[in-house]
Every structure is written in C-alpha cells, then in structure tokens.
A and B are shown apart, each in its own frame.
Chain A
Amino acid sequence: MTFAKKEERESSDGTQQILRCAFVALVFLLIFTPVAHAYVGPGAGFAVLSSFLTLFLASVQAVFAFLTWPIRQFFRFLRRRRAYLKAKTKRIVILGFDGMDPQLTERFIKQGKLPNLARLRERGSFHPLATTLPPISPVAWSSFLTGVNPGKHNIYDFLTPDRRRYLPELSSARIRGSKRVLNIGRYAIPLTRPQIKPLRRSTPFWHYLADAGVFCSVIRVPITFPPEKFSGVLLSGMCVPDIQGTQGTFSFHTTRTAMRESATNRVVVPFEKHGAYFHSYVPGPPDTLRTDSNVELRAPFRLKPAVSKRTVDIHVDGQRIAISAGEYSEWVELEFRAGVGASVKGICRFYLKSVEPELELYATPVNIHPMHPALPISHPLTYSIYLAKLQGLYATLGLAEDTWALNDGYLGEDAFLEQCYLIHREREQMFFDALDKTRQGVCVCVFDITDRVQHMFWRHLADDHSTGAPQTGSGAASVIEELYKKMDDLIGRTMEKMSNNSLLLIVSDHGFKAFEWGVNLNSWLHQEGYLALREGAASGDWFQDVDWSKTRAYSLGLNGIYLNTKGRESLGTVEPGAEAARLRTELCEKLQGLVDPSTSRVAIRRTYDAMKAYTGPYRENAPDVIVGFGEGYRASWDSAQGKVTSAVFEFNSKAWSGDHCIDPGLVPGVLFSNWKITGDRHAITDVAPTLLDLFGLQVPLHMDGKPWPMAPVTSA
C-alpha cells in the first residue's frame, strides 16, 4: 500500500472515530443539559452558564458548519479544482531561516553535525540561493514573497529617507494617527482607526494561491505588516513595531543612576526607593488623547528584593512576579492607561540582571499584546488571538530578539541567547500548529534566530573572528554550531510530519560574513566634497548640521547613497536627468574598489547604479547608488545613522560582529529541498513563481523570477 493511500485510509478511520465521539458527546449533552438550571451563585453560575453557552454556540456553529460544509466544499472545489488538478504537489512547506549561510552549512554538514540537511542534500537538492541587491532581510524577503526585484516591491532597506526632512522613516509601513479627531478641551478623541499604510508593493504569492483556492498559512514572514487580506492565515513578522511605535525600545531599570536617559532603542529609568520597595515604570507610547502636552504613558511597578538578595518580587498591574538573578520572567501583561479610561495593552519580559551591589532590571521592548492588539498584526485579526489562547503569550515585535541590549552591554551573551531561544520556542510551536492545520496548501514560516545569533556571535567562530571582543558567554565558541544543529533538528521534525509527495523548501535570504570594519560613507562623501557641514559645526546623528544647500549626496541606512536631487529632496542641489546620471557614475567609479589604507583590503567591492540595477515603477525611490562592501566591511554605525565623523574607516568593536549588508555576490542564501531541483541559477526571486508553477498557475508577467525545474525524488 502506498503511503498516500495509507494516509487516506487512516484519515477516513479517524473521521469516523471523530464522528462517533461527537455523537456520544451530543447525547451526553442532551441528557445533562438540565444541570444548567442548578444555579449556585455567580462562580458556579458562570461556570455552568458560560460552559454550556460555549457548548451551545459551538454546537450551533457545528450544525451550521456540517450542514453548509458540502455546499461550501462544492463551491471551493469548483474554484480550486484547477489549482489542485494541475498541481504537482498538494502540500508545500517552506522553512525560512534568516541568514543561514551556505558555506557554514556546508562545513557543518561535512563535519557530520547536520544529519537532516545532509540527507536533503544527498537525496534532494542543495544550492546557494542568489540574494537581492542589497542583501538585507526586508529587501530579500520582499523579493521572496513577490518574486520581483526591489524596483517593483519598493523595499531597499529597513529605513528610507523622508525627502522633505532628510530624516529616516520605516521603509515597509507608515503609521499615522487617526484621520478624524473630536477635540474636547485638552483631549482629542480619535473617531477613526489609526492609518497604517503598507509601503511594500507587488503582490505576495499567497494571494495568487488563495485566489485559486489553495490554503496558505504564513507565519512571521518579514514585511507582512500591516497584514493584508487574503483567504488564509498570516501572522506578521519583521517590521511589526512595539507599543511605542519603534522597532524595539527596551528599558533598563537601575539604582546606578538617578536620572532618566534615553537613546535610540533604549530608555534607562532609575529606581526610587520607598520603604522596602523600589519603584520604577515601563515607558509606553505617547498619550495621543492629550493635546496639551507630549505625555508618555507609563506602566508603574514596584520591586522588593528578598532577604537572600537572590530573588525579587515585582508587583505590576496586580500581578506578582518572582524572579531570580539571571532569570527571565514569563510574559507580563502591562496596561498603559490614558486619561479618559482608554488604555493600551502590551507584554514584556523582565530579566533580573543583578540585585547587589546595584539593582538592575532589564525589560524587553513592550510588544503589542497578541490578544488585545493595538495595531493589526495578523490576518484575520483573530489569528493572533487564537495563537495566544492556544499556546500562551508570544513575542509579536518584528525584531523581537533584542540585539541592541547586547550590543550596548545591557544584556550579557547568555541572557541574550536565552531570550532568542525563548522566542524561537514560541515560533516553533506556532509553526507546528500551522503545519498541522495545513494538510493541503502552503505553510511558510520564517525563523529569525539564525540571523540574530550570527550577528552577535560571529566573532566567536574560530576561523572568522578578528574583532577581539571578549568572550563572555559560556561556550560562546560553539553557539553558532549549536544553533545550526538545533535548526537541523527542527528540519528533521518537520520532515517527520510530511508525506513523500509533499515538497519541503528550506531557504535563507542571505548568508553571513564577518563585520570587522565600518566604512562611514557620509564621512567619505564629506571628505570628497559631496556633503557639506555648516561652518564650524560638528555633525550629529541624522544629518544634524549638514548644509543641504551645498550637499550633493548623502548616505542613510546600510548600503545606499542618495543624491540631493532638485524637486525630490526639499533642498535639492542636483538636477535630475543628465547631471544626476553623471554624478551616479562618478560616485560609482570613485567608490568601487575603495581600499582601506590601514588593512590594504578592498572595502568596497562593487557599486551599483540604481537606474541600471533595478527595473520597475518604484526604481525612483531607490538609493541612487548601492554600495557592495567587501568581505569584513560594512557601513559603519555612524554612517547608517547619517553622522559624519573624522575617519572613514573605523574598527567595529561591538558584539554585533557578523553581517550581510555587503556585496550580494559574497552572501548568497541557501536552498535545500526534498525534491530534485535542477537548473544552473537559483535566486530568491524564483521562489514565488516556482510555487505558482507547482500549483499549475500561470506566472504573472511582471515577476522577475523563473520557476525552477523540479521533481519529487522517486524512492528506489
């Protein structure tokens, strides 16, 4: 008997068994329903009433579902007949591992450490997967899901400049307040929902599949915020903001300082001691209901250290959380109350860093509460609620693993790693639930841990670190190896849940290389006379004191140089057209092959003129020149934040020691499959057209990717 037939028979037996149990349950209910009359107080009353109400509603729903199921199935069948009839497989599972590196994977496979990937390589396929220009996650994953180059999906980096103010804004979504507001005294009551506008263009592959009747479960794929409607389920990933609207602002509470300090991605809040308790607060979003001042909403808490000084009790919103030093709390629900009874709910984890000599408590960025989302984070809206009810609270922030806290020394390596795996376990749980619910169709889930851990632990790789950062974590040298082993184990468990006919794809958006030296493109532009500072002024973050009237080009983000173009930038100096084209060529020529005099290494391997590198209607929004850094180099921290420093090259001494924002040819991703994939070139843009092709759908003409020739492996 073939596996498929066996599976079919088992499924049929299972259905009969379920029907039998349902019948017994119904009889039981009918007999015992009079129990509901026995009202004994509100506790019991609620227990009896609500449970029977739930059952009653569920039964009504069940009857409705059963009665209408054949009709709905008939119509669905008519709609999807074409898709499934022509489909080469009925089930596709895609595991996305952000930043999984082909060279490293190959090395670990050769060392026998990744048995499942080795099996896939041997019996199925393994290819490097060409990434996008630039090889940055939001860019590459956008190409993954749309099958187009960035000129058509409009995502070029995490950030994009606001051309009027020369300030950065999120490239993937624009969040604005309510359009209509009722002003009552000092209060502004919003009458409509906040405006959330997606900036990513082009259509994800699951929309085409859903239209054809193929069910899709999409879990945490980057650049899916705000979630768009389609006939399937989706939980948004990278770029979902925290409750403050940022990409992750953690708070650190300490007795070490008496003053509050704020910086990008963090707020340090002092503890105030009253009696036996230390008081502090978790900063929240601004109170948008108030018009008179910029009031920040806060969730106050108090903390009492135990006599042993090893543990503390945190009292917040009526909850008491006991944690020991070096330990994370469970997710804690926080409520930020605005003046007129409105409130915003969020969740965070506390990590007790130390009790003595100083009390130090870290709080993760406040994530949007999945059960009470302040902004939509899933489609349908109830999907995030469903997951939270099913598996408990979970991280919803796009960049949930707090790399900044480790980078700036507020968390140690062990604590950061623990945080990553806590989040990863939640992700695994939701992936396996989605896998279970997607017996037919496409299930795609992206795991971020591979990217975050490699960023922060790359320097510990024996043959690839030279940043000399101290190894503070236990077993830090093997962290990345362990990470790959765990992902391999996850792949193994996924394979166990798949039949032979199903297709498994394992993809990563890019690889990884060491980040030893930073190149400050703004400093280079300044030194070369393309960017001018006001006389006598030193530069600050985000182009503070830049003289725009004399500036011809500036750099913002990780790979892009923008021309200060007339009519586009508010204080533009470069004429669009021929002058801009000349300047682009000039910059490309000057930067390509730029050598770092301190190491004699090529810092910039290649430069790209956006007008030549991209095609599509949104090419105009791209950086004018894209810089492909050489191995070991990347845009410096200051350069990314629009700051001009005296030196062009600077040593990277931060924990963030691995990166991929370099020349795309150096950091391809991986492509593994349990099917044989042939062809000589495989790119991340090919994934979407391949999936459409596998379901027998015509690949839209605008897609840049091409379907891979592939076939299931026939067992001998």
Chain B
Amino acid sequence: MGTGRDWLTRMTTLLSWIDQVFDLLFRLMRPLPRLGVLAVFSVLTAVISLLAVRWTSNQKAIRRVKDLMGAHVLEVRLFPDQLNVVLRAYLTLFGNTLLYLRYALVPLLILSVPLLILFAQLEAYFGRAPVEPGRDFLVRATFEAVDSLADPMLRLPPGLAQSAPPVHIPSEREVDWRVKAEQPGTYDIHLVLQGSEFSKRVVAENGLARIVSERERGSLWQQIINPGEPPLPRSGLVERIAIQYAPRVFHFRTWEIEWLAPYLVLTLAAALLLKGILRTEL
C-alpha cells in the first residue's frame, strides 16, 4: 500500500515537472498569437509523432500493406467488369485495412501516453476562457459526506466578491457559490471546512494562462487530465472544487471552433509535409 502511495507521489512530482516545462514553453511563446502557439505545438506534435512512428513501427510492412491496398483499389478500376475480381479486391482491401491498422497499433499505443499528457496540457491553455471581470461565475465544491455541507466557508481574496448566498444541493453533496471578479487578475480562493483550508486558482485575465477548471482528490488520472494544480488531499473532506469556465474558441470569420479542430488539421498537414523529409511511412 505504502509502495502505491510512494509511486503516486513520484508521479505527482513528475507531472508537476511536466507542468513547469509547459509553463516555461508557453511563457517563451507569449509574444506569439494564440493560433501561432497552437501551430508550433502542432508541428512539434507532428515531428515527434513521425519520429515515434518511424522508430516504433514496421515501416516496410506498412509500406507493403499500403501498396497492396492501392493495388486492390486500382484492381477495381482496371477490371470493373469482372465481378469475381472486383469482389475479391474488396475483401482483400478490407483485410489489408485491418492489417494496416494492426501495424499502426504499436506506435498508436506508444504515442498515446505522451499525447494524452500533451492534450491535457494544451487543453489547460487553450480549452477554457478566463472568467470575465464583472460577470458572475460558479464555484462548485463537492464533499465526501452530506453532513459536511453545513460548515464550508469560501474565503475570497480582494478582487473577487460573492454575489449570492451559497446554494446547497444535498443530493449531489455539493455547495455552489456565485462569485464575481471585480477586476482582472489571477486569484487563489480558499474553502475552509472544519479547520482545514482547500485552495483553488481562478483566472480572470486574458492572455495565455493555464486555466484549470477542477481540482480533485487524488487519482493519477485526474492529475493527468487536469494538470496544473496539486490534487486535493486524499484524507480531506472535499472531493472536488470546480470553477465554471466557458469554453475558449478560435474565430475563423463566422466560425467559432475549439482548439482541437485547428490543432488536428495543422498536425495532419505538418505530418503530411514532413513525412517525406523525416522518411516516415504513415
């Protein structure tokens, strides 16, 4: 048991280092526009992924199976009037597609861990918009037991003010506060319960800042997908503190799209352009 805790602690430390690395990277790219920063990360993702695919996959086999897929597609065009040839080509094409996915599985699995961490970090920077000064937002706290709901108190720093009394939702073991940022800034709010204090960061200023919507108790998974703030103590009475941020969007003329779409397009485009240079068969 102790070993498990130690491992979790080590992982938490490692994740905090990763947070610091990303914070540093984003600080370095602060002069760039947001889309520029996203483009840099897209290219980096493409390069790392291409190298990983090149080193971890059977490139020869991938090339061969892709050639075969191409051959069977051409077969359908070349011999369209021969039903048996056409049907056989489709079946083989299907088999080859599965084979291709199998060859792609190893790099996919290997890449999934670093990419998951990367996505979580990018989500922290691009996924949510800061709260707007002058507008209300919700602070939600979830507790371990219903009897804890009577006691909690939210201590706000100067610049933040509570705009309505807290709402208790016993069925959810939750208390919600309506808060307003009076001026731009980054604040730490504190939840006080039975003598213990639990903090949560609130971002109410524009620019490239890490915005963490939830701080949760303990699990490694939660630490990975909500990076930037240490987990709530396992032994504490608070399970979760969440800030209600609006999703951040990129504006392309009349379109409003979240960061994942341009990131996907840019990484695919970069990978397509760079795969020849990096000699990677995708």
Chain A interface (Cβ within 8 Å of chain B)? 11, 14-15, 18-19, 21-22, 25, 39-51, 54-55, 57-58, 61-62, 65, 69, 72-73, 76, 215, 233, 318, 380, 382-383, 385-386, 388-390, 392, 437, 439
Contacts and interface: CB of A to CB of B under 8 A. Distances in A.
A76 B282 CA distance: 40
B194 interface: no
Contacts of A390: 67-68, 71, 75
B108 A15 contact: no
Given A22-B90, A43-B52, A76 B81 contact: yes
Interface string B34-55: 0000000000011001101100
Contact of B94 (A25, A382, A385): A25
A383 B104 contact: no
Given A15-B87, A58-B73, A62-B90, A43 B107 contact: yes
Contacts, number: 138
B101 A18 contact: no
Identify the interface centre among A11, A43, A44: most chain B CB within 10 Å of its CB.
A43
B78 A382 contact: yes
Given A61-B76, A318-B279, A45 B267 contact: yes
B87 A40 contact: no
A73 B53 CA distance: 45
Interface in B261-282: 264, 267-268, 270-271, 279, 282
Given A21-B91, A51-B97, A389-B68, A41 B45 contact: yes
Name the 5 nearest CB pairs between A and B, nearest first.
A47-B104, A42-B271, A389-B71, A43-B53, A390-B71
B127 to A, nearest CB: 15
Contacts of B74: 382, 385-386, 389
B93 A11 contact: no
Contacts of A47: 100-101, 104, 108, 282
Contacts of B94: 25, 55
A492 to B, nearest CB: 25
Interface string B99-131: 011001001100110010000000000000000
Contacts of A51: 69, 97, 100-101, 104
Contacts of B134: none
30 contacts: A18-B84, A22-B91, A25-B90, A39-B260, A39-B264, A40-B112, A41-B45, A42-B45, A42-B46, A43-B104, A44-B49, A47-B108, A49-B268, A51-B101, A54-B93, A57-B73, A58-B90, A58-B93, A69-B81, A72-B81, A73-B81, A76-B81, A233-B78, A233-B79, A382-B78, A385-B74, A386-B71, A389-B68, A389-B70, A439-B82
A41 B49 contact: yes
A382 B77 contact: yes
B86 interface: yes
Nearest to B277: A318
Nearest to B108: A44
Given A45-B268, A58-B73, 6 more contacts: A43-B271, A44-B49, A48-B104, A58-B76, A58-B90, A65-B86
A698 B49 CA distance: 63
Interface string B55-73: 0010000000001111101
A25 B92 CA distance: 11
A382 B70 CA distance: 11
Nearest to A380: B78
Contacts of B57: 43
Contacts of B86: 62, 65
A18 B94 CA distance: 12
Nearest to B62: A47
Given A18-B87, A46-B268, A40 B111 contact: yes
A390 B78 CA distance: 13
B84 A14 contact: yes
B85 interface: yes
Contacts of A22: 87, 90-91
A614 B80 CA distance: 42
B30 interface: no
A41 B81 contact: no
A157 B267 CA distance: 57
A386 B50 CA distance: 27
Chain A at the B interface: SS class: helix
Contact of A72 (B68, B75, B80): B80
A389 B67 contact: yes
B73 A54 contact: yes
Contacts of B73: 54, 57-58, 61
B83 interface: yes
Nearest to A11: B84
A44 B74 CA distance: 25
A72 B79 CA distance: 13
Contacts of A15: 83-84, 87
A128 B12 CA distance: 87
B27 interface: no
B108 A40 contact: yes
B78 A43 contact: no
Contact of A386 (B75, B108, B282): B75
B135 interface: no
Contact of B268 (A19, A42, A62, A383): A42
B65 to A, nearest CB: 10
B80 to A, nearest CB: 6
Contacts of B85: 437
Given A54-B69, A386-B78, A439 B84 contact: yes
A390 B79 CA distance: 14
A46 B108 CA distance: 11
B42 to A, nearest CB: 9
B88 interface: yes
A443 to B, nearest CB: 12
A42 B50 contact: yes
A43 B104 CA distance: 8
A389 B70 CA distance: 7
Contacts of A383: 78
Contacts of A389: 67-68, 70-71, 74
B97 A54 contact: yes
Contact of A18 (B75, B76, B91): B91
A383 B107 CA distance: 33
Contacts of B81: 69, 72-73, 76, 215
B91 to A, nearest CB: 6
Contacts of A215: 81-82
B89 to A, nearest CB: 8
A50 B108 CA distance: 14
Interface string B15-47: 000000000000000000000000000000110
Contacts of B49: 41-44
A73 B82 CA distance: 10
B111 A44 contact: yes
Nearest to B276: A318
Given A40-B111, A51-B100, A437 B267 contact: no
Nearest to A59: B90
A425 B85 CA distance: 23
Contacts of B97: 51, 54-55
Contact of B80 (A11, A65, A439): A65
B93 A55 contact: yes
Contacts of A41: 45, 49, 108, 111, 115, 267
Nearest to A25: B94
A31 to B, nearest CB: 14
B146 to A, nearest CB: 38
A43 B93 contact: no
Contacts of B45: 41-42
Contacts of B90: 22, 25, 58, 62
Contacts of A439: 82, 84
A17 to B, nearest CB: 10
Nearest to A57: B73
A48 B105 CA distance: 10
Which of A50, A62, A386: most chain B CB closer than 10 A? Answer: A386
B5 to A, nearest CB: 30
